[in-house]
Every structure is written in structure tokens, then in C-alpha cells.
Amino acid sequence: MRVVALVPGGIGDQILFFPTLDHLKQVYPDAQIDVVVEPRSLGAYRVCKSVHQAIPFDFKDRNSLADWGNLLGVIRDREYSVTLSLGQRWSVGLLLWLTGIPKRIGYSGAGAIFLTNPVPLKTSQYAARMYHDLLQGLGINSPCPELAISVPKPDIDWAESEQKRLGVAESGYILIHGGSSYLAQAKGIDKIYPAQKWQQIIQSLQQRQPDLPIVLIQGPEDARLVQQLLSSCPNVKVTSPADIGKLAALIAGANLMLCTDSAPMHLAVAVQTYTIALFGPTEPQKLLPVSDRFLGIKSPTTKMADIAPQTVLERVWGG
């Protein structure tokens, strides 16, 4: 069986879709599973063991008919027997119908007329379970498995070396991802916690646990935030993992992950690191599984900046 899944969205969306892919591979171990994803999200599949190939296509770009035609040609040439689609746009439904794939599974909605096996869209639940509902179109009705990833051995080795470089291999460490994202800002999505409030949290943590190092994650878009924190908290350490596998391995070694609603948060869930995540307008129960290891703090006003540092610290010390 050859399966193709159309998975628009960022790296976080891809990670949340992993349980669906893994369960499908478990039920059909000989299946070849490909995914069509946006170029910015290709890196997620470094830590997914169930996908044969990730095909880039920018769903959100102003694609011409030629762009859609090229994607149609790629899909038709591979003679898939099943397709799963996370999107509800009628244009994607039409594309899937034109591919001639016998079994077309997606959510009920605008494009459902082009599907053979539409399933109900239940947005109130944890997103990984919502995505997993698509497998009902294949008659798979068992519960959604836990989110998991497969980190390459070289990335684990890098993380161990990085822990030694930072001087945290023996002591353990608190890992912080501040939530800076140009794309989120451009879209008006509130996923950034102010530097001055991170500063208060960091200084309080250092006062209470002076021997437990604090490590900041600096991604390609985080330089300004990290520099602001370094200027006010010079004793913190900084790491810049080159890819998602190395980041996941570093998160796995942390005692605690403090972050905003972001891809690193989903990686922390996947590697079972104790996590406290900050949410602005988004509901935590939609992006975090029910577990004592993963705590979501929702802003009282829906604005991330209105979460008080003391609220975060109370959750850190209170568990």
C-alpha cells in the first residue's frame, strides 16, 4: 500500500501528526508513507521513523495553475492508493479528486464533496487526537498513541557533547525557549513572552537554585531576545542546535523546559521532559496532552505578556 498525506502547517503541526503516521505504519507495516509539507517544515521529518519521503509544496504561497499541476503530476506518477488530508480547502479536495487516488480521506467540510471517506472534524480535543481521527476513514478506531519521535544517534551524541561544553552534563539544567518567531509576528499570532518578564523568572530561579544552570535556546529568529536576556542575566548559557534532532536530544536531557506554545514544546512532550508552557489566545488543552508532566498556563487576557512571572514560578515550585 502506498499512502500520501497532505500536511500543511509548521513544524509543530507535523510533530502533532506523527502519532497518526506511526499508528498507520504499525497497522500496515509494509506501507510506504509519503507526506507533502511546506518547505519550512521539512526538517521535522528528521525525527519521524514512519515516513519514506517528504515532498515540499508551499500550500500558503500564491501557487499558479502550473504549481498545482506539477504537484498533481508528482502524486499521480507515484500511484498512491490512499491519501490523507489535514486541510479543508476545496482546492485541495479538487486536487485529490484529480489524482484518481481510490481512497481519499479528509475532514467533513468545504472540500468533502471530493472525498471518498470524510470524517468529522472535532476541534475541541488535543490536536494529535484530532489528526488521528483521520484513520477512522481506514476503519482504524483504536485510541491515538502517545506523541513520540526517533532521534538519530549522531544527534544524541551531539547533545552529550554540547552538555559538556556548557558544563551542565553533571548538574542538569533548566531549558528556556522564549517564543520569538518572525512568522508568528507577521501573522499577528501572540507567541512571544517579553524579555523583561523572562528576566524576572530567570533571576528568581537563580536565587532559589543557584547550582542549577539555565540554558537558553537560540534559534535562527531568537537572537534579539537572547541578547536582551544575556545583558540582564549574564550567568545564563546559550545553545544553538542546528536541526530539530539535536534540539530534541538537548530537550530530552533537561530537568525542566520553560517555553511558549511552539515546536520545541511539542518536542518536549515527545521526549517526556517536564514542561511548563505559556499560552496567549490558544487553549492549552488543544496543544498539550493530559499529563502531570505537561502544564499549560493560559493568559487571563489572552495576551501572552499578561502572564505574571510569579504565576510561572508558582507552577515551577509547586509542580
One domain, residues 167 and 72? no
- Give the CA-trace dihedral at 27, 33, 36, 39, to 10 degrees: 110
Query: Are both 133 and 184 inside the same structural domain?
Result: no
pTM over 0.85: yes
The answer on 214 and 159 residing in a single domain is yes
CB 18 within 8 A of CB 51: no
Q: Considering its fold, how many domains does the chain have in total?
A: 2
CATH number of the domain to which 52 belongs = 3.40.50.2000
Q: How many residues make up the chain in this entry?
A: 319
For the stretch 239-266, pLDDT in tens is: 999 999 999 999 999 999 999 999 999 9
Helix (H, G, I), strand (E, B) or coil at 208: helix
Average pLDDT per 10 consecutive residues for the chain, totaling 319 residues? 95 97 98 96 97 92 84 95 90 90 92 92 96 98 96 98 96 89 61 91 95 93 88 92 97 97 96 97 95 96 94 90
Within this chain, do residues 212 and 111 fall inside the same structural domain, yes or no? no
Could you report the per-residue pLDDT of 81-129, keeping only the tens digit for each?
Answer: 999 999 878 888 898 999 999 999 999 987 789 999 999 999 999 999 9
169 shares a domain with 134: no
Alpha-carbon gap, residue 102 to 109, rounded angstroms:
20
Whether residues 47 and 82 fall in one domain: yes
Separation between Cα atoms, residue 232 and residue 249, nearest integer Å = 28
- Examine residue 146 and state whether it is found in any structural domain, yes or no: no
Whether residues 248 and 201 fall in one domain:
yes
